[in-house]
Amino acid sequence: MAWLVLVLSGGLEAVWAVALGRSEGFSRLTPSVVFAVALTASMAGLAYAMRTLPIGTAYAVWVGIGASLTVAFGMATGAEPVSVARVLLIAGLVGCVIGLKLVH
């Protein structure tokens, strides 16, 4: 259960990161509210997962999922440049996250 919550929390990290960027310094209401809700839920999920998973592993997985989804979203929307090297590096990050789960 902790792993499922951790993965969902990592996805919410990407949501709050994107919302933070779109809030334009918290001057836009909807992205600011999405940021606050997603941040709270993401942190709560991370805290829950850390009750049973090692802190270093949980944090690395949470950050890895959030970072890779945030970059993938940016590339999909055209906000980030797409290149073979970038895609391979993100795939490597995802592979490392999966590796942390497998060796746990």
In the chain, domain spans: 2-103
Output the pLDDT for position 33.
98
Checking if the pLDDT of 100 tops 90, the result is no
Q: What is the pTM of this model?
A: 0.89
Two tokens at 48? Answer: 């829950």
What Rg, from alpha-carbon coordinates, does the chain have? 14
Q: Which long-range contacts (CB under 8 A, 24 or more apart) does 51-55 make?
A: 51/2, 52/2, 53/2, 53/3, 53/6, 53/104, 54/104
Q: Which of the four pLDDT bands, split at 50, 70 and 90, describes residue 88?
A: very high
Rounded to whole angstroms, how far apart are CA atoms 7 and 28?
28
Examine the pLDDT at 66 and tell me if it is beyond 90: yes
What integer pLDDT is reported at residue 101 of this predicted model?
86
Q: What is the pLDDT of residues 17-52, one digit of tens each?
A: 999 999 999 999 999 999 999 999 999 999 999 999
**Measured CA angle at 98 (ends 96, 102), to 5 deg:** 110
